[in-house]
Amino acid sequence: MTQTTTGRSFKALTGFVSIYGLLIVFALVLIVFSALRPNTFLSSGNIGNLLTSQSITALLAFAVMLPLTTGRFDMSVGYHIGLAHVLMIGLQVNAAVPWPLAALIVLAAGLVIGLINGLLVTRFKIDAFIATMGMGSLLYGVSNWYTDGQQIPGFSLPDSFTGLTGFVHGVPVTALYVAVVGIILWVILERMPVGRGLYVIGSNARAAELSGISVPNYVLGAFIGSGLLCALAGILLASILRAATPSVGAEYLLPAFAGVLLGATSIKPGRVNVLGTLLAVLVLAFSFSGVQQLGAAFYVEYFFNGGILIIAVSLSVYAANRRRKEAVAASS
């Protein structure tokens, strides 16, 4: 009797962990670090800054996530955001384009870049990893050509532009954009047939085809979405940095992938998903900030980053396996 009760609660626990593992980790991180650094860790300044800078990572993670629902890698997102932010500043500073027009141009460029990526993958049938890697190199070339490898300082950007990433009633506006984008993506992926189509392609492209889903069009759409998200992230990054450096961007690639893949272990374990991605980005950012505030040696953060990735994923893989085992056992 007691045995089955503990058995049942253990089951419930593993089920809960496998779905909400990241949320638990997030809560732990918040509790531990705000106990250790009560005055600074949860200060509005720190939260505001973290949310603002992590918004970029979150948007890029979404950009990675979209094609990844269909099982395609987009390795160009890092260089793409770099080009977008260079263009955004460059058009304003060098060509005196008003910022809303510059933003439109950057978004249009993002759409075209996504389209090319998609066409390379669907029409030319190039492996997505390599096509987008090549594309990334081309984009990096364009950034460097446009700037001649030099920084474009944006000393006289209009307040309306720099204010894009400011605060309203103490709330970082950038985080609101991410929330809106997240909700839209969530609705598309979880509540619309087109989103289900993307997931179906990701798990079995052949079955998708036989079910009448036009695989090329869906994949193309995913890459275009990814391009637009990169452009949006680039616009916001330009507003945050207020200066354009062509080398910016590549450093986002791995964190974006880390966010998506770590996120795929929670909420909808085993599949990349919007909420998991957001949670993962937050967990990585807040834990990292906490470690920095503790004044640990600089290399500790690398250990921490690697460690949290591995531990969080093992935990949720373990929980998901247990859960699946129980499901199978129960059904046989």
**Long-range Cβ contact pairs of 100-103 (< 8 A, separation 24 or more):** 103/235
CA distances from residue 14 to 40, 74, 326 in whole angstroms, order as listed: 34, 33, 10
Angle between helix 128-147 and 77-95 (nearest 10): 20
User: In this chain, which of 141, 158, 163, 193 binds its own copies, going by CB under 8 A?
Assistant: 141
Site string for its own copies, 298-317 (x = CB under 8 A): xxxxxx-xxx-xx--xx--x
Site string for its own copies, 41-80 (x = CB under 8 A): ----------------------------------x-----
Q: Rule CB under 8 A: is residue 94 a binding residue for its own copies?
A: no
Taking the alpha carbons at both ends of the chain, their separation in whole angstroms is 22
> Which parts of 155-192 fold into alpha helices (H)?
159-162, 173-191
* Whole-angstrom distance, CA of residue 240 vs CA of residue 233: 10
141 binds, among other proteins, its own copies, none (CB under 5 to 8 A by kind): its own copies
User: In this chain, which of 15, 48, 71, 134 binds its own copies, going by CB under 8 A?
Assistant: 134
Q: Which two tokens stand for residue 59?
A: 């948007």
The bridge status of strand 167-168 relative to strand 152-153 is unpaired
- Please, which residues bridge with residue 243 across strands? 153
Tell me the residue type at 35: A
Give 105 or 190: the residue with its C-beta nearer to other proteins.
190
Give 59 or 131: the residue with its C-beta nearer to its own copies.
131
Nearest distance, CB of residue 74 and its own copies, angstroms: 14
Give 233 or 262: the residue with its C-beta nearer to its own copies.
262
* Whole-angstrom distance, CA of residue 137 vs CA of residue 30: 39
Give 53 or 97: the residue with its C-beta nearer to other proteins.
53
Region from 98-106, 157-165, 230-238, 294-302 binding its own copies, contact rule CB under 8 A: 294-302
Nearest distance, CB of residue 331 and its own copies, angstroms: 20
Q: Rule CB under 8 A: is residue 207 a binding residue for its own copies?
A: no
Give 21 or 246: the residue with its C-beta nearer to other proteins.
246
Give 8 or 324: the residue with its C-beta nearer to its own copies.
324
**Within positions 11 to 40, which residues make up the interface with its own copies, using CB under 8 A?**
none
CA distances from residue 197 to 193, 201, 225 in whole angstroms, order as listed: 6, 6, 15
Distant-in-sequence, close-in-space partners of 93: CB < 8 Å, separation ≥ 6:
152, 153, 154, 156, 157
Do the beta carbons of residue 288 and residue 110 sit within 8 Å?
no
User: In this chain, which of 297, 328, 329, 330 binds its own copies, going by CB under 8 A?
Assistant: 297
Give 154 or 227: the residue with its C-beta nearer to other proteins.
154
Q: Which two tokens stand for residue 106?
A: 């950057």
Nearest distance, CB of residue 323 and other proteins, angstroms: 9
Give 119 or 171: the residue with its C-beta nearer to its own copies.
119
- Please, which residues bridge with residue 40 across strands? none
Q: Rule CB under 8 A: is residue 328 a binding residue for its own copies?
A: no
- Determine how many CB atoms are found less than 10 A away from the CB of residue 139: 25
> Which spans of this chain sit near its own copies (rule: CB under 8 A)?
75, 120, 124-127, 129-131, 133-142, 144-145, 148-149, 254, 257-258, 261-262, 264, 297-303, 305-307, 309-310, 313-314, 317-318, 321
